[in-house]
Amino acid sequence: MKKDIEKYLQEAIDNIHDDRQVTKDLLKDVLRHLAVDDKSHEKVGQVAAKYVETLQRSNEQLVKIVALLQKRESKSENLTNEDKQELFDLIQGNGTDG
């Protein structure tokens, strides 16, 4: 069970890092576009805002994972059912507030 949790945690962290990189690349493209054509700021600005929201959600996911890991380290090696559900929600992509 512990190996499964560690595997899923690593997978979630890897996915967060991958998503952040893709989002950063897309945001850079939007910024380059705005530098060339600032008249499209209204239309492209909304897209940029969504990318920033995605980065914020990934930060929240990382913080939740770190909090769960710290909680596990400080209490014991066992996760509570609530911890397990929260990890499952994070892995499934349901653990964000946005």
pLDDT digits (tens, 9 = 90+) for 14-39: 888 888 898 889 889 888 888 887 67
Number of domains the chain contains:
1
Question: What global pTM score does this model have?
Answer: 0.57
Q: Is residue 66 part of a domain?
A: yes
Could you tell me if residue 86 is inside a domain?
yes
13 lies in which domain range? 2-92
pLDDT of amino acid 77:
57
In a domain, 98, yes or no: no
Q: With CA atoms as reference, report the closest residue to 8 among 20, 16, 22.
A: 16
| pLDDT score for 1 | 59
State which H helix or E strand residue 96 sits in: none
* Predicted local confidence at residue 94, as pLDDT: 59
List the one residue out of 66, 54, 46 whose CA is nearest residue 22.
54
Residue-wise over 58-96: b if at least 16 C-beta within 10 A, else e? bebbbebbeebeeeeeeeeeebeeebeebbeebbeeebe
Is 55 within a domain? yes
Give domain status of residue 97, yes or no: no
* Residue tagged 């929600």 (tokens): 89
Asked if residue 71 belongs to a domain, the reply is yes
